[in-house]
Amino acid sequence: RAASPYASHAVASVWEEHGWTGHAKGTTMMVAAMIDKFGSPELKEQVLKPILAGETVCSLGYSEPGSGSDVFAAQTKATPDGNGWRIDGTKMFTSGANLADYVIMLCRTNPDVAKHKGLTMFILPLKAEGITVQPVHTFQDERTNITFYDGVKVPDTWRLGEVDGGVKTMSAALELEHRGGGFSKAHHAMIKAAEVLAREIQFEGRPLIEDRGAQGRLARARAHVAISEMLGLRALWGAEEQQNLPAAGPMAKLFSSEKFLEDGSDLLDLTAPLSLSKREGAALFVNQSYRHAHGTTIYAGTSEVHRSMIAERALGLPRSRG
Ligand SMILES: Cc1cc2nc3c(=O)[nH]c(=O)nc-3n(C[C@H](O)[C@H](O)[C@H](O)COP(=O)(O)OP(=O)(O)OC[C@H]3O[C@@H](n4cnc5c(N)ncnc54)[C@H](O)[C@@H]3O)c2cc1C
């Protein structure tokens, strides 16, 4: 909890070793940073404190059925209601909402102005009356959710930032999300599982691992992990030391997710048919990693959106998104 971002990054290898997911930690710490920056004293007392005590987790309610990449097109309504607000709408892909206590929400508070202008952010307790969480099962075996908000009441003190100032608040949230991080740990774990299979599979009368071609494919994947690690560290360092590297996070995320997927496909092929059998252990792990890798190129901003960000921030090309 009091660990520096560097220490937190370093400990990720231990999490990988134990097979723990870092998802809840990542989303919760993003919400914590947002409350710290924009939250009222009440919100800090009631939500930030338990987060920092490690007692609660949070999820992200940005995407909707009609808006994902174009997050500022959110339609979930927040209307003034007494001393607070009433929330109505639907959020898509609210991952972890079935386990979390709170969700950070991007809502429309003014439908009569340009889409970027009438947005406001809130924190909602997921146990509040009027919230329904329904599972959405993905082909990567990751459960996410669709969440419905039907007349949910929230006090004004649970607002983050200014009314209709959601662009500023959300931009800060996206900045945190686009800091990189990457998927090198999951990628590395997949290679280790593929290596186990390559020792078991026989190819031309000897273990596949002894084949030069197989060695090359495993080594290439391992080299990608090393580059992902370096890009992730560079993004972390750039953000922590305020080095003005605005494309470093997107570069880390783009490279890491795309290479995870590319190597996932290659190692699934290398270790087939075992990798297709879904046999418990290494075979299932390679198979599951390949499916997991697809999601990494979509959530926290798709690869296309990240390419756009790199083009704008590092190459100075004109903005292509609305
Ligand atoms: C497993 C999973 C978990 C997720 N978890 C969460 C979560 O916890 N909270 C949350 O809020 N969201 C979450 N998401 C949503 C995720 O952030 C969105 O799926 C993502 O932003 C893409 O939005 P979309 O699905 O609406 O696709 P769209 O935005 O409709 O994109 C469709 C296609 O068009 C491309 N495209 C869109 N705009 C542009 C552009 N300007 N330039 C070039 N290409 C473009 C995209 O790259 C994509 O290929 C999750 C998604 C998945 C798959």
Compute the distance from residue 213 Cα to the ligand 1 centre, in Å. 36
How far apart, in Å, are the Cα atoms of 300 and each of 115, 216, 251?
Answer: 21, 31, 13
Confidence of residue 170 (pLDDT cuts 50, 70, 90): confident
- pLDDT tier at 319 (50, 70, 90 boundaries)? confident
Which numbered atom of ligand 1 lies nearest the CA of 69? 29
Question: Is the predicted ipTM greater than 0.95, yes or no?
Answer: yes
Give the pLDDT confidence score for residue 14 in this predicted structure: 81
Q: Describe the crossing of helices 248-270 and 282-296 by its angle, rounded to 10 degrees.
A: 140
Domains of the chain plus CATH, in order, are 5-176 (2.40.110.10), 178-313 (1.20.140.10)
Pair type for strands 58-61 and 102-108? parallel
Over residues 54-105, the pLDDT tens digits come to 899 999 999 999 999 999 999 999 999 999 999 999 999 999 999 999 999 9
Q: Which residues line the pocket of ligand 1, CB cutoff 6 A?
A: 59-63, 68-69, 93-95, 138, 142, 144, 295, 298-299, 301-302, 304-305, 308, 321
Q: How much is the average pLDDT of 279-291?
A: 96
* Confidence band for 174, pLDDT divided at 50, 70 and 90: confident
Cα–Cα distance for residue pair 48/45, rounded to 1 Å: 6
- Please state which of the ranges 11-15, 44-48, 81-85, 213-217 shows the lowest mean pLDDT: 11-15
Q: Is 135 helix (H, G, I), strand (E, B) or coil?
A: strand
Residue owning the nearest CA to atom 31 of ligand 1? 69
Contact 109, 88 (CB under 8 A): no
Supply the mean pLDDT for the chain.
Answer: 93
Indicate whether 1 pLDDT > 60.
Answer: no
Cis amide leading into 250 (omega within 30): no
pLDDT at 138: 95
Give the CA count within 13 Å in the CB-facing half-sphere of 190: 33
Calculate how far, in angstroms, residue 196's C-alpha sits from the geometric centre of ligand 1: 34
Q: How many other C-beta atoms can be found within 10 angstroms of the C-beta atom of residue 13?
A: 11
When mean pLDDT is compared across 107-116, 171-180, 277-286, the lowest value belongs to 171-180
199, exposed or middle or buried, with CB in 10 Å at 0-12, 13-18, 19+? Answer: exposed
Q: Are 101 and 125 in contact (CB under 8 A)?
A: yes
- The alpha carbon of 309 and the centre of ligand 1 are apart by a number of angstroms equal to 15
Residue 272 has pLDDT above 80, yes or no: yes
Q: How many A from CA of 157 to the centre of ligand 1?
A: 30
CA 282 to centroid of ligand 1, rounded, Å? 30
pLDDT at residue 273 is higher than 70: yes
Q: Which range has the worst mean pLDDT, 16-20, 44-48, 50-54, 90-94? A: 16-20
The closest of 290, 282, 176, 292 to 235, measured between CA atoms, is 176
Closest protein CA for atom 38 of ligand 1: 69
Q: What is the best residue among 21, 27, 64, 93 to mutate for testing ligand 1's pocket, by most ligand atoms within 8 Å of CB?
A: 93
